[in-house]
Amino acid sequence: MKYYFREDDDETCYLINHWKRFLEENQLDEIKLFEAERIKSSDTEYFYCHIAGETGLKGENTCGKDCKDYIPCNGKTGKCKFYGNTYEAKENFITLKTK
């Protein structure tokens, strides 16, 4: 599955279905989308929390036992099941158009 950033927003990326709905809901003819590339966990100090919908800084007390939504993947300890990757926009883009 590929994620895409909108041309004027490099903070949040979504799947193509989100952008198709975005076109319809905003009555746009087209939008320019940049392909998102996953950043390796070892190459960044950030993570994405799927439950909060926010990016956090690794090592801060915002993730883990201090979080009310923390659920370890293995059911005991460790990485939370809501812990996600971060992405950056690549140079290649597509232009998504309405039918």
What confidence tens digit (pLDDT) does each residue in 23-60 have?
999 999 999 999 999 998 889 999 888 898 888 888 77
Q: Which residue range(s) make up the domain with 16? A: 3-97
- Nearest CA to 81 out of 58, 64, 95, 59 is that of 64
Residue 61 has pLDDT above 80, yes or no: no
pLDDT at 91: 93
Q: Into how many domains does the chain fold?
A: 1
- Per-residue pLDDT, averaged over 72-79, amounts to 88
Q: What backbone phi and psi angles, to 5 degrees, belong to 94? A: -125, 155
pTM of the model: 0.78
pLDDT at 5: 96
11 vs 87, more confident = 87
Return d(Cα 32, Cα 57) in angstroms, integer: 29
Return d(Cα 82, Cα 60) in angstroms, integer: 16
pLDDT at 4: 97
Nearest 5°: the CA angle 86, 2, 78 is 35
